[in-house]
Amino acid sequence: MQQIQEFVTNHPLLFGALLVALIALAINEALRVVKGHRPIPANEAVRLINVDDALVVDTRSAADFKKGHILNAKHIPMAGIEERAGEISKNTDRTIVCYCGIGNVAPQAVAKLRKLGYNNAYALKGGINAWQGDGMPVTRK
């Protein structure tokens, strides 16, 4: 405990920066939980696909889609997600699972879909890389 007090008194700027970073991280996580943008793991996505008949949307490029994608996934690249949302489903209550390569783009697609009224849209945590890492199948058909 004495070392912490000594560090704070000797390095107030570093300690202040640490506090700011921790507060920013806490606020970011709280907003993610409140807005419901928490990415879901592969096992939860499988449950949504099997139980809720969720639609799966691949937001990657056409070349990446051809290399391998989740079975029955619709290919709608992130760039056209708002314009092509009607192709996903006319029913805005339908459960949708979006994914990308590593999990950084799908949450953006989910946010856009939610703005359009698709309240049951989720992003796959870690993208197709995590999906395959968990031993889940992909297809090239």
Q: Looking at the structure, do residues 105 and 81 belong to the same domain, yes or no?
A: yes
Q: Looking at the structure, do residues 41 and 30 belong to the same domain, yes or no?
A: no
Q: Looking at the structure, do residues 58 and 123 belong to the same domain, yes or no?
A: yes
Q: Looking at the structure, do residues 66 and 21 belong to the same domain, yes or no?
A: no
* pLDDT-derived band at 37, boundaries 50, 70, 90: low
User: Which is nearest to 126 in space by CA: 61, 64, 38?
Assistant: 38
* pLDDT-derived band at 84, boundaries 50, 70, 90: very high
**pTM reported for the whole predicted model:** 0.74
Q: What proportion of the chain, given as a percentage, has pLDDT over 90?
A: 70
Q: Which tokens hold the place of 53? A: 């008949």
d(CA 103, CA 124): 7
CATH of residue 52: 3.40.250.10
